[in-house]
């Protein structure tokens, strides 16, 4: 599904002067190229600029004017002072650790749970398979925002409100991930597994040794979106967590903003702490992020 991976090799134009050509080997005119780069840079300023402004604000010291007009884009004396202050104001590293715990748990349960269920739906012949598939399809269509109060009362009944387990549980095996895995397994040729079956491999062996290694790409997509979803989630943790010592980063940031709204340097430092890990993850694993968009949109 990825567009990025499927770029065609650019043909070398057989002329002396170096020319930029498009994917069909046709020359792009200079004015068109200039126009394209101008537009690209303008969009870049709009999409990435705000993050850089936030970073810049977080690095400005207490004596520097952050409200000046015209604005100063670069901090005159960059300092990490604000990051230390965030840690003194709220237990930001504990919150980051809570977010990490929630996100990691979400990755493990989603990968394992959706691979198992997806395999059952795609490969195993058993009665009730269509009903089980329908259950996941219906679950995917239920808007989470519409059941969030009932999820909260369910958590209360289980005594799991205000715990990190309660944060993870509702989304720990996403219906869409199950269906993604099902599709991935359905796309595998059946013959290899049949051969293994003839050789006496049982279901677990076929699942673990043959099917699972063939769908690594989809597992990676599920893992990344599970991590990002849990790390970024706001509404559900906001509802289920009430004790400030159990906050995740997003809820902690909301608290920081609510209490110290006028201290922009402090809030800026907090947001940078929250967003930096994900941007790093994205920079390393872009391929899977893009692939996930395609698979989620087309098949979901």
Q: List the interface residues with another protein, window 179-198 (CB under 8 A).
A: none
**Residues within window 70-89 making contact with another protein, judged by CB under 8 A:** 70-71
> Which residue in 15, 31, 126, 199 binds another protein (CB under 8 A)?
126
- Residue 284 CB, shortest distance to another protein, in Å, is 11
> Which residue in 84, 153, 187, 245 binds another protein (CB under 8 A)?
153
- Residue 216 CB, shortest distance to another protein, in Å, is 17
Q: Does 16 bind another protein (CB under 8 A)?
A: no
**Residues within window 261-290 making contact with another protein, judged by CB under 8 A:** 264, 267-268, 270-271, 274-275, 278-279, 281-283, 286, 289-290
**Residues within window 30-49 making contact with another protein, judged by CB under 8 A:** 33, 36-37, 39-40, 43-44, 46-48
> Which residue in 34, 80, 112, 186 binds another protein (CB under 8 A)?
112
> Which residue in 19, 51, 79, 96 binds another protein (CB under 8 A)?
51
Q: Does 151 bind another protein (CB under 8 A)?
A: yes
Distances (CA, A) of 65 to 52, 58, 268, 269: 17, 12, 15, 16
Residue whose token pair is 């970024």: 232
Q: Does 10 bind another protein (CB under 8 A)?
A: yes
């Amino acid at each position: 599904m990825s567009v990025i991976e499927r770029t065609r090799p650019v043909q070398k134009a057989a002329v002396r002067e170096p020319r930029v050509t498009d994917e069909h080997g046709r020359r792009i005119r200079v004015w068109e190229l200039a126009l394209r780069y101008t537009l690209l840079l303008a969009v870049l300023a709009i999409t990435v600029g705000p993050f850089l402004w936030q970073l810049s604000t977080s690095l400005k010291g207490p004596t520097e004017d952050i409200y000046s007009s015209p604005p100063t884009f670069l901090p005159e004396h960059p300092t990490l002072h604000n990051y230390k202050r965030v840690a003194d104001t709220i237990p930001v590293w504990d919150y980051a650790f809570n977010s990490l715990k929630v996100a990691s748990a979400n990755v493990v349960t989603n990968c394992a749970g959706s691979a198992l269920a997806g395999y059952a739906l795609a490969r195993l012949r058993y009665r009730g398979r269509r009903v089980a598939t329908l259950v996941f399809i219906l679950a995917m269509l239920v808007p989470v925002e519409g059941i969030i109060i009932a999820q909260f009362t369910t958590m209360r009944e289980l005594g799991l409100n205000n715990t990190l387990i309660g944060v993870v549980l509702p989304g720990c095996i996403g219906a869409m991930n199950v269906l993604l895995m099902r599709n991935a397994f359905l796309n595998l040729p059946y013959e290899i597994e049949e051969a293994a079956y003839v050789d006496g491999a049982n279901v677990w062996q076929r699942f673990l040794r043959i099917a699972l290694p063939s769908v690594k790409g989809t597992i990676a997509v599920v893992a990344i979106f599970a991590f990002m979803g849990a790390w970024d989630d706001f509404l559900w943790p906001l509802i289920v967590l009430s004790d400030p010592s159990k906050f995740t980063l997003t809820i902690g940031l909301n608290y920081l903003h609510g209490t110290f709204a006028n201290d922009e340097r402090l809030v800026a430092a907090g947001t940078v702490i929250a967003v930096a890990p994900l941007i790093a993850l994205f920079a390393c694993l872009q391929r899977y992020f893009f692939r996930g968009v395609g698979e989620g949109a087309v098949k979901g």
